[in-house]
Amino acid sequence: MKQESTQQICNQLHTKSILKISVSKKAEKAFYHFKFHAQNFEKIFKEEYPDSEVCVLFENKHTQSFYLQFGSDILLFMLHSNVFAFNRDHEVMKTAYIKEDKNRAYCGQISIYNFLTDSLFYQRYNDLGYLIGRVFVNNDNHYYIDGKREIGQLYNNFGTNVFDEKAALMILESAMQYTINFDLLVPPYEAVKEISVHDMVEINNQRIPIRTAKRLGFRFQADTN
């Protein structure tokens, strides 16, 4: 006969694991929607501008990541393999939506990073990419987005935002529009006034050790609706 504590552990393990498996599947489906629209954008652009010198390229070499190159920018989408729960102090946890069911706080995570195309082309491994947004999808298929400076109180929409193909397209297009609109700015003189002998040697060897990146202040179209 099983001890009561052992039975409780078995029940908890089964219940929580089943929940996380279900959440992972929802996040995978959301990731697929992003992937579909990114690939479709490449097709649409090349149909609209068949002779354009602008490079638009969809690359999918890993099941949990892909990137869309458009002009001088790259957006990298990454699906995390684990399920996360929001910290108890997070604003999301204060919403009625989560208070009604704490299991809604378990989410899959899709991160969106911006890189410069030249960073990849010239293999400038010291260059930086910036996280411009994280999309969290829970078992209800509701989503929450953070990481954007301009957004306030977005967590209040977690209870009503349902992730679907339309939401994926909106987020992708918004990310692209704001990425295009934020230009690479001249770095402060003081930040680049010195380079080392090592840097000079690397440059002569056709390797660029000096970091190049742009910082983004980012928001989605839906934030202004």
CA–CA distance, 28 with 114 (Å, rounded to integer): 21
Residue 42: exposed, middle, or buried by beta-carbon count in 10 A (0-12, 13-18, 19+)?
A: middle
Provide, rounded to the nearest whole percent, the portion of the chain with pLDDT above 70.
76
At 30, which helix (H) or strand (E)? helix 4-48
All structural domains of the chain with their residue ranges: 19-224
pLDDT per position as a tens digit, 119-143: 888 787 778 888 888 999 999 999 9
Reported confidence tier of residue 150, pLDDT bands at 50, 70, 90 = very low
Which segments of the chain are extended strands (E)?
56-62, 65-70, 73-85, 106-116, 130-138, 143-146
Number of H helices, E strands in the chain: 6, 6
CA–CA distance, 95 with 209 (Å, rounded to integer): 46
Is the pLDDT at 223 greater than 60? The verdict is: no
What backbone phi and psi angles, to 5 degrees, belong to 160? -120, -20
Is the pLDDT at 192 greater than 70? The verdict is: no
Is the pLDDT at 154 greater than 60? The verdict is: no
- Predicted TM-score (pTM) of the model is 0.83
Is the pLDDT at 64 greater than 90? The verdict is: yes
Helix, strand, coil shares of the chain, percent, nearest 5, are 45, 25, 30
